[in-house]
Amino acid sequence: MKPYCAPAWLPGGHAQTLWPLLIKPRPLPLRRERVDAPDGDFIDIDWLDGPPGAPLLVLFHGLEGSAQSHYGLSAALACKRHGWRLALPHFRGCSGELNRRPRAYHSGDSEEIDWILRRLRDGADRRLHAAGVSLGGNALLKWAGECGKTAGEVVTGVAAICPPLDLAACGHHLARGFNRIYTRHFLDTMKHVSAERLRRFPGLFDAARMRRAATLWDFDDAVTGPVHGFAGADDYWRRCSAKPFLKSIAVPALAVNPKNDPFLPARFLPAPAEASRTVRLEQPAEGGHVGFVSGNFPGNLDWLPQRLLHFFLHETAQTP
């Protein structure tokens, strides 16, 4: 499959990041399943059903994303065209209903990735194709690195699209210049959901610090870190960045990181020596953050789902 090349009419990382929000496809009817978590909580999984025995792609969304994010919608269309099934798990609190337990989700939530994949594997007659976008991609790569060879019992391989492999570099970069517009977008929804969670679980974190948070570091230091057992933002970002885990991945893996991604400067992207031989590092010059618009104006979002399907069809082992 040809590497991604941005159309001439859509230059720049910010435009390539934001334009997909305006051209995302119409949603397909999906079946929602509520699944109980091991700790008594729940997650919601949106399903695109297909023929029994059809390949199953599991796609984990990004920060504050959902099955209705543009990449989820385009993946559903591509899977329907090719006769694949698709599972879109929602991280806790992202399906439109507050979860039952104090914990939410975070960029290194490999424990959550593990039980979701293993539960879906129990209901499948073959290993899963697992992909993640942005935060979901980082968590998935971390999971694969932690599991090593045993990941191959569950998945054929893993694919990560625009994973923030260095969370500190990403978080600090999003606090500067135009990038602050992305931070404000994330904080608006994260603060709203966190306030709802605090009403249900008084004393879970410092409400005043949460309200004052103006950067992702502020929020993660006040909320994400304490709620999920980290000493603060620095500890969370250090322990949950997927980059150090790339050398331990033993299954076929794909990491696509455009060099003009506004979330992660190119100088922080890994070199081949920083990953195992099973990891394919694909770093096109353009693409933005989960953009990958292609075609004539106004463009389409076909490239990304086609890249995922091509990887799992032709670049991973298919035997169960």
Q: What is the pLDDT of residues 276-296, one digit of tens each?
A: 999 999 999 999 999 999 999
Q: What is the pLDDT of residue 53?
A: 86
Which residues are identified as catalytic?
A: 134, 261, 289
**Residues pairing with 133 in the sheet:** 161
* Dihedrals phi, psi of 48, to nearest 5 degrees: -100, 110
Rounded to 5 degrees, what angle do the CA atoms 258, 70, 260 make?
A: 15
Kindly report, as residue ranges, where domains of CATH 3.40.50.1820 are found in the chain: 13-165+242-314
Report the chain's terminal Cα–Cα distance, integer Å. Answer: 24
Q: Cα separations (Å) of 181 from 9, 41, 166, 178?
A: 23, 33, 20, 6
The answer on pLDDT for 139 being more than 80 is yes
Q: Over range 240-255, report the average pLDDT.
A: 98
Q: Nearest CA to 316 among 119, 162, 152, 163? A: 152
Given pLDDT bands bounded at 50, 70 and 90, which one contains residue 317?
low
Q: Is the pTM of this model over 0.85?
A: yes
DSSP-derived 3-state class of residue 264: coil
**Rounded Cα gap, residues 167 and 163, in angstroms:** 9
For the cut 90, the answer to whether the pLDDT of residue 312 exceeds it is yes
So what's the pLDDT on residue 318? 44
Query: Where is 210: in which H helix or E strand?
Result: helix 207-212
Q: Which residues contact 142 (CB under 8 A, 6 or more apart)?
A: 108, 110, 113, 240, 241, 242, 245
Is the pLDDT assigned to residue 1 strictly greater than 90? Answer: no
Cβ count within 10 A of residue 151: 25
Coil, strand, or helix at residue 140?
helix
- What mean pLDDT do residues 141-166 have? 97
CATH architecture observed for domain 13-165+242-314: 3-Layer(aba) Sandwich (3.40)
